[in-house]
Amino acid sequence: MLEPSQIRALLEARHGDPFAALGLHADDSGRLWLRALLPGARAVGVVEAAGGRAVVSLAEREPGFFEASIPRRRKRFDYRLAVQWQDGASGEYADAYAYGPLLAEQDLALLQAGRHPRPYELLGAHAQDGGVRFAVWAPNARRVSVVGSFNGWDGRRHPMRLRHEAGVWEIFVPHAALGDLYKYEIVGADGELLPLKADPYARAAQLRPETASIVAALPAIRSLPADRAEANARRAAISIYEVHAASWRRADGGFPSWDELAASLPAYAAELGFTHLQLLPISEHPFDGSWGYQTLGLYAPSSRFGPPEGFARFVDACHAAGLGLLLDWVPAHFPADPHGLARFDGTALYEYADPREGFHRDWNTLIPNFGRDEVRQYLAGNALYWIERWRVDGLRVDAVASMLYRDYSRPAGEWIPNVQGGRENLEAIALLRRTNELVGEQAPGAITVAEESTSFPGVSAPTSAGGLGFHYKWNMGWMNDTLRYMREDPIHRRWHHDKLTFGLVYAFSENFVLPLSHDEVVHGKGSLLGKMPGDDWQRYANLRAYYGFMWGHPGKKLLFMGQEFAQVSEWNHDTQLPWDLLDDPRHAGVQRLVKDLNRLYREQPALHRLDCEAAGFEWRVADDAEQSVLAWLRKDGQGGQVLVISNFTPVPRSGYRIPVPAGVKSWHEVLNTDSAHYGGSNVGNLDAPLRAVDGTITLNLPPLATLFLLPVAGDGECA
């Protein structure tokens, strides 16, 4: 019989090794004893698993603790516990303490070393035949129990087995099932009982403000369709429609389901000619107002939009519409909510312990301990999880600059230099490189995009060449410079001409995406239309000219939702987009322009094939600051070319001369942002082809407009 002191330890949930005490055990004489800890039970019997024949009734030695020797048996056997509960319910259950160790030693060794490419396959909740296997990393905990809807949230019912080599706790709960709620009850090394913790590897979670994890199926690994890999390539046309799923369309005031979004969003984006959708973070997060950028459930699609399987259908709908899907991914920080990662096992486990490294001053969040192998493994594995389990095309990695520098947004004396005495976070750099290498090795064709706002070298260079290994980088400098220019009254733009030309000095140092993202239309910044100067007509004309300039400029494109139809107000995440604006021809005209820009961008290889290479660009007019005119060629490296001209004053300019390449005799206008079709004044050059004379063409420049010209078919090198 078990010693009374051990029984008390079990009942008080402080036993060091419950698997050594509970379940079926032999004493020194070889006699079998069976012990069960079932608080709330009135009577417990043992029956054979096959046939259900009664074997013995267990005696209740203490309330909730049952024990008896097994008569006439010397060998272990498969049994069930027949339980009558005090509330009158009853049932037969397999015993969680009848199972041996669950995770293989070699897997634990990989987890401990931080080298497992898919840690989510081992940790978390995994439904199996007859129950659920739970495993959680908490190396400094004194005790960990899984609690949930299957055991009355009682931490005494299922204390877990510690696998000391890796600090992993595990248990198989036979009667748990898909859909069950659960958390971990953890006692820290100091004996303190912590707030119940959600599972860092949970694949589903309750809708806020509830915080429990949900047992969910692990999606199968699915490779990207072959056509998607090609569509993500550096020489492909990539035009991204950035979306906050909760506020794109929510007519009834509630969150749309994934199936509702799948029925309309992919078709809308595809109709406008975008090649990719990008969603603001959809991982589970506690606060709506963070837009997902303060996530606590990195492995769980947010329950705001329904169950996870709905997200799988949404991904398929995007691909069926010919769209790639990118997700915003946030490895840079996490909130300190007590049910989350903060002091997960009573210590700074997932975060840096020193606030000079581990506290983010801008967002009041915690910074992951990028120097810890298991934390880097948790994050890199999560990146691969979204790509190969949900078949998304790639990840846009948020706040990379804050990861790269230890002094990011910190005054002198409030940050810790790296081991070399520098300001770079070498540990975060190692994580980013490892993540990009892992994605490249395991999910070829998928892409990663860095939101990085500094001049850190080689962000989109291969790791083999010393780079970070991203496929693309947001060009924040281009965005800031050009928006500052567009805010200027046209009469003053001559003094700021360099803001449009400077970007070409470094345009090919990285593989750039030109982002007009949600960040430019929040926090009092107003809408893009609201940034434009002048009277009402000029504001719309300025925006149309700016879009033309952007689509003609080297670099992939990104536009935040609502800006495709010139949203008037700043974006509000609590309401849907103001779709009624499309009843106004000015807004419908801007939407038609975006559609035609996307069409032209995709149809003309010269506008996208060498987006990231200097050979794809050539200035024709770069220095006409006085008249705020620019002209340049886009080339595809195979003879194709497009001439792009922007006039950023409200003055029409007739007889303007542009030097053109030798060998092309005539050009014709194929898109004019001043067309009446888009709401413009219809000044242009549609009457006849523009013939080159002495190496120049003479044309009419419409006010506040961008033109696209192609060589006339049969009259030059290409059409």
Does residue 584 have an active-site annotation? Answer: no
Which of 185, 393, 398, 510 does the annotation list as catalytic?
Answer: 398
Whose CA is closest to 586, among 623, 626, 536, 632? 536
Distances (CA, A) of 121 to 159, 429, 448: 21, 25, 22
Among 637, 601, 604, 632, residue whose Cα is nearest residue 618: 632
Residues 48, 60 contacting (CB under 8 angstroms) = no
- H/E/C letters for each residue in 171-198? EEECCCCCCCEEEEEEECCCCCECCCEC
Whole-angstrom CA distances from 172 to 97, 98, 266, 508, 580 are 8, 9, 41, 54, 54
Calculate Rg over the CA atoms of the chain.
Answer: 31
Give the residue ranges of DSSP H helices in 60-128: 105-113
The C-alpha atoms of residue 633 and residue 660 are separated, in whole angstroms, by: 9
Angle at 460 between CA 456 and CA 461, to 5 degrees: 95
φ, ψ for residue 113 (rounded to 5)?
Answer: -80, -10
Active site residue 717: no
Q: Are strands 690-691 and 617-624 parallel, antiparallel or unpaired?
A: unpaired
Phi-psi region of 560 (alpha: psi -120 to 50; beta: other; left: phi over 0): beta
Helix (H) or strand (E) holding 574: none
Alpha carbons 284 and 338: distance in angstroms, whole number: 15
Residue 364 CA: distances (Å) to CA of 176, 355, 403, 519: 37, 11, 15, 19
Sequence-ordered list of residues with C-beta below 8 angstroms from that of 359, at least 6 positions apart, any chain: 365, 366, 367
**Closest Cα partner for 655 from 634, 629, 625?**
629
- 715 residue type, one letter: D
Entry field: residues in the chain: 719
Half-sphere exposure of 462 (CA within 13 A, CB side): 4
Catalytic residue, candidates 351, 451, 564, 636: 451
Say what angle helices 373-390 and 308-320 make with each other, to 10 degrees.
60
What residue has token string 């402080």?
A: 14
- Give the active site residues: 398, 451
